[in-house]
Chains A and B, each alone.
Chain A
């Protein structure tokens, strides 16, 4: 700031350190807990320092069996989570790009009506209309399928608005120049529009990937078959066994593995992530 007050600077750093420590606390504990054998729990306290069963626990959950209540290994559910997350992400981006393109660069009857129909999806989060949506998906015979996991979550007003905003900022002269250069709608879309929206797409990709990976209620409802379990929802299945059988060390290891990919994406692509957050709230 303006003047130099050493004690204030010190206090700032101290506060930030405390904040970071508090934020990291549960993860630290989970990490420690995952290195102890299951028998170390329920004897009155959780160990606060690393044990020696870490390799065994992590190996078991990753490659053999995630824990009581879930028979599939974590790597397999990771694959399912990845398929769902990428399916949702690419799906949302693709259909939103197309619809934003239609709304911005064409004039046709009922254009505003279409815009409002898409806008309405913003008012209907899946949690609110959960029962009838489940029924629709069940009627369409999509339970226990990748299509059922992804398709109902693909419509996105947020992404459409974001791309609309982005397209509106493209100078009209550029579009005219492309038309003079003989570019039709498709050529313009692929040669000019997509390359110009690159960073927006990437930023949105980060946000949507996290959204898709972290889906919980939806996969919980529509998957009853192990083969379609996703990592985040499997925790619930592992917690649903009777109290005595909860294998906390395995649950902690699975939890950490389940949060690893999206956390890595946020940290690794921090700039895009921040841009995505700010953009999608505009």
Chain B
């Protein structure tokens, strides 16, 4: 854009609200986290002492932290892969049907609007060991379901609840991606004698790869940061530490454990991770823009 207004002070006035809020609620807390990460504070906040890198050293020698990293990775990739596979299946089917496409879309996208915490509660009751229909059905099938005690089962529960909410998002983007595949390519493949199944794997799926990659990143970000409510409402990170993701641990150590220095050090590490992910996301988006 080359056309601009000549005023010099007005733009500052326009930016002021955004900059002010950013400074007070983003930069200041971030700076405090950074500072706190180098201090040890007693539980009452009465005194604190400078400890240098000790909080970080503690963090990186703590086996629980590594376990939390592993939990986060297992959780995030499970959510991303399960959610994307199911959504792709549904999107391919929805792309095939001629009648009722919009109705199907409507009936599949609404879970996006459900708060993560509520999604957790809804699935919890289905899987409640003493009264949940699915848990009881599993029991009768010989699976002893109790996510209060079994860490793996707790993980499965939070993955299901988180995935359920995210399927709608993946579905919409996959459907849009499928509809953008040029008809002529599929027709050409059909004339070349490829079956519908083969056409999908050799033509359509490769063409969807930008969408797939984009969704992978978005899903990982979602599983990292937006599933706090699911975990907090269902397992509270337990049993043991089996569903304590990195983000949950920041909260848990800070507000429940009152280890402010440790929590701050974790915040700093997380900020670095988010920064990295944002850069990756933007790199990808730049590329997408160039291609389109």
Contacts and interface: CB of A to CB of B under 8 A. Distances in A.
B202 to A, nearest CB: 15
B115 A258 contact: yes
Contacts, number: 291
A217 B90 contact: no
A172 B3 contact: yes
B108 A29 contact: no
Contacts of B190: 2-3
Interface in B242-283: 247, 250-251, 254-255, 260, 263-264, 267, 270-271, 274-275, 278
Interface residues of B, number: 96
B73 interface: no
B93 A16 contact: yes
A2 B123 CA distance: 40
Dominant SS at the A interface? Answer: helix
Contacts of B271: 123-124, 128-129
Nearest to A172: B3
Nearest to B105: A270
Nearest to B160: A26
Contacts of A121: 22, 26
Given A2-B187, A235-B121, A265-B113, A124 B196 contact: no
B94 A16 contact: yes
Most chain B CB within a 10 A radius of its CB, from A24, A41, A106: A106
Given A12-B97, A104-B1, A274-B172, A98 B125 contact: no
Interface in A105-148: 105-108, 111, 114, 117-118, 120-125, 127-137, 140
Nearest to B168: A23
Contacts of A265: 113
A207 B130 CA distance: 37
Given A8-B196, A235-B233, A105 B5 contact: yes
A233 B120 CA distance: 12
A44 interface: yes
Interface residues of A, number: 107
A235 B12 CA distance: 42
B233 A131 contact: no
Most chain A CB within a 10 A radius of its CB, from B14, B19, B123, B218: B14
B24 A136 contact: yes
B18 A16 contact: no
Interface string A149-161: 0011011000010
Nearest to A214: B115
A106 B25 contact: no
A134 B254 CA distance: 11
Interface string B110-145: 111111111101110110101111001000000000
Interface stretch (B27-35, B51-59, B60-68, B74-82): B27-35
Dominant SS at the B interface? Answer: helix
A251 interface: yes
A15 B86 CA distance: 10
Most chain B CB within a 10 A radius of its CB, from A16, A45, A46, A48: A16
Given A1-B196, A132-B36, A281-B218, A216 B29 contact: no
Contacts of B229: 214, 216-217, 232
A274 B112 CA distance: 11
Interface of A: 1-3, 5, 8-9, 11-13, 15-16, 19-20, 23-27, 29-30, 33, 41-46, 48, 94-96, 98-99, 101-108, 111, 114, 117-118, 120-125, 127-137, 140, 151-152, 154-155, 160, 167-168, 172, 175-176, 179, 184-185, 188, 210, 213-214, 216-217, 220-221, 232-233, 235-236, 239, 248, 251-252, 255, 258-259, 262-263, 265-267, 270, 273-274, 277-278, 281-282
26 contacts: A3-B190, A12-B97, A16-B97, A23-B107, A23-B168, A26-B125, A42-B131, A98-B17, A104-B1, A107-B4, A117-B19, A117-B27, A118-B22, A124-B29, A129-B33, A132-B29, A140-B24, A155-B22, A210-B113, A235-B233, A236-B117, A236-B232, A258-B115, A263-B113, A270-B105, A270-B109
Given A235-B233, A255-B122, 16 more contacts: A8-B96, A16-B97, A23-B168, A30-B122, A95-B18, A98-B15, A99-B19, A102-B15, A185-B10, A214-B115, A217-B251, A221-B255, A236-B233, A239-B121, A258-B118, A277-B172
